[in-house]
Amino acid sequence: MTDFDEVSLRNPSFSWQAMLSLALISKRSYRDLAAFKADAEADLGMKVTAHADIADTQAYLVESDNAAVLVYRGTKGIADWLVNIQVFDLEGAFGDVHGGFLEAHRAAQGILVPPLQAASSAGKTLWLTGHSLGGAVAVNTAIETHGSVNVAGIATFGQPRLARRRTARKIMDVFGSRYYRFVNDDDVVPRVPFTYSHSGQLFHFDGSGQVKARNEGFEANLESAGPGEPDQGPAPLSEEEFEKLRQQIQDAAAHPQAGLESVPGAGGTENVEGVFDGASEVNLEGFFPSIKDHRIDRYIAAIDKQAP
């Protein structure tokens, strides 16, 4: 595997090496502060300059002399989130978005925004990133700090649907050329909540880790039919499909003899999200749409195939 490369993050343009580096940081964000700090200094050549751990929001700001990355951790219990997801709107700087993701940004903004602005003012190339729900919070941070922070790029991996259609268009207008959204094969998370839309430039990997041709396997009639609007990617789950998936998860949780599908990993067991102790997670293998395709390691492997 190609290693993390801090130099790639100094350039504000898209590169596969930069995307790989951001995916690797997103994986590390599931570790606790002590482990993440050790990784950042020993392996990434960057220092943690801010850390937030409030309610369900955990994030790290890491910096070098020339680059900075704000990474939000995704949820450690994607099954619980899918079963208990609540859909409500809040009005953000660009319009209505999923309220939970905006609240997650607001919970930590007092800690994260001042050093983020300082890094931007220092002229550092600034990236916002995150896996799963962390990606959605990263996009909200870009929206809410627009005008006070110069964001070089946003990269999200397995991000859920975020905004009402009009808001999604505004996000595309402002960040479309520097917002990269990755979807791995049949990952279910980018297909929910079905009432919201996506923005950003889509990179959709097939089962072999190759980038699909534009619109291959996508909705026949995209919501984003207008010029310059984003590809929505795989169709959102219908309400009926979503309820069926929730029932599958609840049934699996009620029969734990199926066991946790996990493998040893540094700092815990590796499950659908990152490296952590997932002993309470249910076995979600074999579900369609796929939850196993949501694993950050699957995103890293696919991006690594593209990196030189």
In a domain? residue 110? yes
Residue 180 sits in a domain whose CATH number is 3.40.50.1820
- pLDDT tens for the chain, 308 residues: list them: 468 999 999 999 999 999 999 999 999 999 999 999 998 988 889 999 999 999 889 999 999 999 999 999 998 778 778 888 889 999 999 999 999 999 999 999 999 999 999 999 999 999 999 999 999 999 999 999 999 999 999 999 999 999 999 999 999 999 988 999 999 998 999 999 999 999 998 999 999 999 985 544 333 333 444 555 566 778 888 899 889 888 888 877 776 554 444 333 333 334 444 433 343 444 555 566 678 889 999 999 999 999 77
In a domain? residue 302? yes
In a domain? residue 72? yes
Q: What is the pLDDT of residues 221-248, one digit of tens each?
A: 334 445 555 667 788 888 998 898 888 8
In a domain? residue 1? no
In a domain? residue 201? yes
What letters, b where the CB count within 10 A reaches 16 and e where it falls short, cover 85-118?
eeeebeebbbbbbbebbbbbbbbbbebbbeebeb
Q: What are phi and psi of 151, to 5 degrees?
A: -90, 120
Residue 37: give the domain boundaries.
6-306
Looking at residue 213, what is its pLDDT? 55
Q: 39 burial class (0-12, 13-18, 19+ CB within 10 angstroms)?
A: buried
In a domain? residue 127? yes
In a domain? residue 104? yes
The domain total for the chain is: 1
